[in-house]
Amino acid sequence: MNSKDEAPKDKGSAGKDLDRLDGDRAFRAKKSFIANISHEIRTPMNAIMGFAQMLKNSDLSEEQDEYVDVIIDSGTKLLSIIHSLLELSNLETGEAAVKPVICDMYLFFSRLWQNCEMQIKSKQLDPVLELPSELPKVIIDEDKLERVLDLLISNAVKFTGSGMVQLSVEMESDDDEYQLVINVCDTGCGIAPHRMRTIYDIFEQGDSGITRTHSGLGLGLSIVSRLVELMGGDILASSVVGAGTCFKLILPVEIYKEYGA
């Protein structure tokens, strides 16, 4: 084989290297852009929120007080979006890491549900908790699990007009392998079948026709799916339009040794 025959192969290899380099640069640029723009927005927003709170504590008329409440509520939502964008950026770039700790499952879910009940009841919905009377202590990333469940429950409340939001928990075992199985279900508007494949995509909401009246960028489920994947678990979704949606989490866990001692 002469040099003319080998040239295209070398050129192709070099081209792939350049493509990878361009991809890495674009990846870093995207991350830097999100971090910078988030910082640029968050800094003035913190000032706005601070002054709004000062106004709230001052002598205002009833109408002025309502206006300030709108400012604070809108600012809180915007800061939440910024936080979600940064969180998603870290998950996309592989910077997020699992930090397992010893977690008392019964206390964890009891505390979590106590915090969520107020949010659920604020929409005149019924909070339903199905929790075993005994759950072991396990080794798991408690913060990430709490974040996942907060997002799923908030999402359920957001898209449920009447009925209930339910959290059910069980521990499954196969020999020495244990799985934490969690279901978050609601009686909300449901998700159209053709939307189910894209519900975890960034900026995607279950059904643009139904959810147009709800605020948000559709970041929650994107974060949930990436956190669950990072924790080595799976997430399954089932839904019926007009009847509700159920998300099932399956997370591998290690039983804390003292439990079986």
Same domain, 179 and 60: no
| Residue (of 91, 72, 97) closest to 34 by Cα position | 91
CB-CB contact of 68 with 52 (8 Å): yes
Say what the pLDDT of residue 18 is.
Answer: 61
* 204-208, 215-219, 235-239: the lowest-pLDDT one: 204-208
Residue range of the domain that includes 50: 12-93
Residues 6+ apart with CB under 8 A from 55: 64, 68, 71
Return the pLDDT at 182.
98
User: If we measure between CA atoms, which residue out of 77, 69, 79, 119 comes closest to residue 216?
Assistant: 77
- The residue from 42, 76, 93 where one domain ends is 93
Task: For 151-204, write each residue's pLDDT tens digit.
Answer: 999 999 999 999 999 999 999 988 888 999 999 999 999 999 998 988 988 755
Reported as type and span, the H/E element at residue 26 is helix 3-56
pLDDT band at 130 (very low <50, low <70, confident <90, very high): very high
Q: What is the CATH number of the domain that holds 222?
A: 3.30.565.10
Give the predicted TM-score (pTM) of the model: 0.74
145 and 226 co-located in one domain: yes
N residues, the chain: 261
Q: Are residues 41 and 154 in the same domain?
A: no
Say yes or no: 179 and 245 in one domain. Answer: yes
Domain match, 154 and 191 both: yes
In a domain, 153, yes or no: yes
Q: Do 127 and 55 fall into the same domain?
A: no
At 251, phi and psi to the nearest 5?
-120, 125
Domain assignment present for 4: no
pLDDT score, position 259: 44
Q: Tell whether 128 and 238 lie within a shared domain.
A: yes
Same domain, 123 and 233: yes
Q: Does 194 fall in a domain?
A: yes
Burial of 230 from C-beta contacts in 10 A (0-12 / 13-18 / 19+): middle
pLDDT at 243: 94
Give the confidence band of 219 by pLDDT, cuts at 50, 70, 90. confident
Mean pLDDT within 129-139:
93
Contact 224, 154 (CB under 8 A): no
Helix (H) or strand (E) holding 153: helix 142-158
pLDDT digits (tens, 9 = 90+) for 196-206: 988 988 755 55
Residue 190 in contact with residue 204, Cβ under 8 Å?
Answer: no
How confident is residue 257, by pLDDT bands cut at 50, 70 and 90? confident
For residue 63, the domain's CATH number is 1.10.287.130
